[in-house]
Structure 1
């Protein structure tokens, strides 16, 4: 039920980022500012959230910790400085999208079969040097499809051809691997625990595998799909023979172009990205005694209901008896019937026709205005 007019309402704001525009923190702050314009005495609890893709590091760091930059390699193998974090509980956070992401022009300048996850391994090594032994690795938004060979190479695993020469850890070369030498794997890796944050349950190879399902969005051409898929399958056979255990068919192995597979081979546990973030930021505690939850993302459609951050937030709000409003950059009208099963109302921040560039430029003000108008409507109904 809406808050009584005899006390200040408690509003929880838990959006994902508007990717390419605003971070989850900025989205939450803008909506919160709009709420306060309409209801000055409202208690606004900001809980930016993410689902394991771009913005996951920012969402986790909102609850406190140390933000760092480390030297690592992008998807093209070129050195640059990437953000990582160490949370207050000592867990280290590595966001794949911040290292080998789809939005990195330098990394994606190379064809997808030449890209590598070396940089993700570099980031893990840097954090191991700082004493981290528990890692949260966010897998969404990667531009790579190397089966995690780059990550393993950065951690010390050697890939050799029939002549004993090193094989570069990129998809175009994986078929050449004849032997894997894991004797130089950094010993600290065996002492570490890895949580892979992803909602993907695909295997590494096959019709539902990394290349066939996710490769096209990274630039894999139709004729390349079987070629790269065979290369990953070959890589997995040689690697698993060397390490003595299997993971290629396990759920999540196909996450992030097979980066999930490499982490599984290191003993990683898979967890929902949104659930992990929600736990860490204390979303359930924020919902305790709340009257209203507002969540959202850049664009919402039927896929939102498949473990995306707004859906997870709405499920937790439902368990707490708190109604949820979805406020996103855009809403797929064809998905409204499905979306409204999880949200009390679904709204776009656009007040009229505008280009994407205009929407991005005006996003903070659009969010404030939308938050204010929703709050006026909601508060008016509470006073009835």
Structure 2
């Protein structure tokens, strides 16, 4: 309407969290795979992941082991497990994938990735040589790890872990203390879980002579970040950078005059791994201005202007509830885009 001769190129993008599988399979002509796996409390759930051209798998751990799979009154990180995530990894390897990208946001678990490893052939034993039950609480009793039946395909597979938090595995900033409460842990549970993860790290360090527990991101997803490093040789990277590299985003920028991105909410914290800031960083290398359309503008939003974003436009055009804003999202986006283009047109005439 405002610039009728403009050429538009749409590129689905995500930051490694919810929506990453959908965005990548759509933008890269991949396919969605459905798989019945063990949910975080042992009940079978219908999980999904994507396979992209080149036999690259994209997994969101929340699909198999996520917090939204458990009612509020049944959340208990002492017993929840990442076993189902391991089953998705195993299924992807069975289908020939030798590169696996795993987004680890939204977990219901605090088991250090032990459940995931168990699905891939590892056994976690107590001092009597008996296999321990699943869940973060049982990690306190690990005395040995048996990897004699480990899936050997792990060693032939590249694991990239989309992770944008910097928490270590244990301690006051670790997985249990920072995220345990939202997963249903009491104060005493949090202390128990923290000590349990510490014991897991002690046994892993003793057996494999590795010490990754203090690497930033080790505490992500209840320690799944740590488990993927230790048991799968995974590499932790910014989720948005993984996605932009995979879709070869920079190649779309040649000849572009304006980049438009979006987010549900933008504030001072958005500089840490959110889609618009990741995109803006790439666009600024080619001196392309960036406009971001959002549902809500939060505190300290000015911080994003130091990271490549030139302007922020709210899609909401009057006071309204969240439910109304979401139900009218399509028309509100059209309206906000029109307002933004009109402002750009005014700027061009000055």
Q: Distance in 2 between matches of 1:107 and 1:120?
A: 21
Q: Distance in 2 between matches of 1:160 and 1:86?
A: 34
Matches within 5 A, 1:231-246: 231-246=196-211
Task: Decide whether the 8 Å contact of 1:65 with 1:86 is kept in 2.
Answer: yes
Q: Distance in 2 between matches of 1:38 and 1:63?
A: 30
Task: Decide whether the 8 Å contact of 1:63 with 1:280 is kept in 2.
Answer: no
| Structure 1 match to 2:12 | 48
Greater shift, 155-164 or 302-311, is seen at: 155-164
| Structure 2 match to 1:328 | 294
Residues 139-187 of structure 1 deviation map (CA, whole Å, 9 limit, x = unaligned): 1222221111110111111112233322122012211222221111111
Q: Distance in 2 between matches of 1:103 and 1:371?
A: 32
2:64 paired residue among 99, 109, 112: 99
Task: Decide whether the 8 Å contact of 2:313 with 2:340 is kept in 1.
Answer: no
Q: Distance in 2 between matches of 1:338 and 1:273?
A: 20
User: How far 1:108 sits from its partner (Å)?
Assistant: 8.0
| Structure 1 match to 2:244 | 278
Distance 1:97 1:108, change over 3 A: farther
User: How far 1:370 sits from its partner (Å)?
Assistant: 1.2
Residues 32-68 of structure 1 deviation map (CA, whole Å, 9 limit, x = unaligned): xxxxx43333211112222211111122212222221
| Structure 1 match to 2:214 | 249
Residues 277-318 of structure 1 deviation map (CA, whole Å, 9 limit, x = unaligned): 111223212222111111121111111011221111111111
| Structure 2 match to 1:188 | 153
Q: Distance in 2 between matches of 1:154 and 1:214?
A: 24
What RMSD over aligned residues (CA atoms) do the two structures have, in Å? Answer: 1.9
Matched position secondary structure for 1:291:
coil
Q: Distance in 2 between matches of 1:193 and 1:283?
A: 21
Task: Decide whether the 8 Å contact of 1:107 with 1:115 is kept in 2.
Answer: no
Mapped pair 1:317 → 2:311: no
Structure 1: gaps spanning 5 or more residues: 1-36
| Structure 2 match to 1:297 | 263
| Structure 1 match to 2:100 | 135
| Structure 1 match to 2:274 | 308
| Structure 1 match to 2:331 | 365
Task: Decide whether the 8 Å contact of 2:122 with 2:147 is kept in 1.
Answer: yes
Q: TM (normalized to structure 2)?
A: 0.93
Residues 3-57 of structure 1 deviation map (CA, whole Å, 9 limit, x = unaligned): xxxxxxxxxxxxxxxxxxxxxxxxxxxxxxxxxx433332111122222111111
Task: Decide whether the 8 Å contact of 2:75 with 2:183 is kept in 1.
Answer: no
1:110 paired residue among 75, 82, 89: 75
Distance 1:108 1:328, change over 3 A: farther
Structure 2: gaps spanning 5 or more residues: none
Q: Distance in 1 between matches of 2:166 and 2:287?
A: 30
Q: Distance in 2 between matches of 1:98 and 1:313?
A: 26
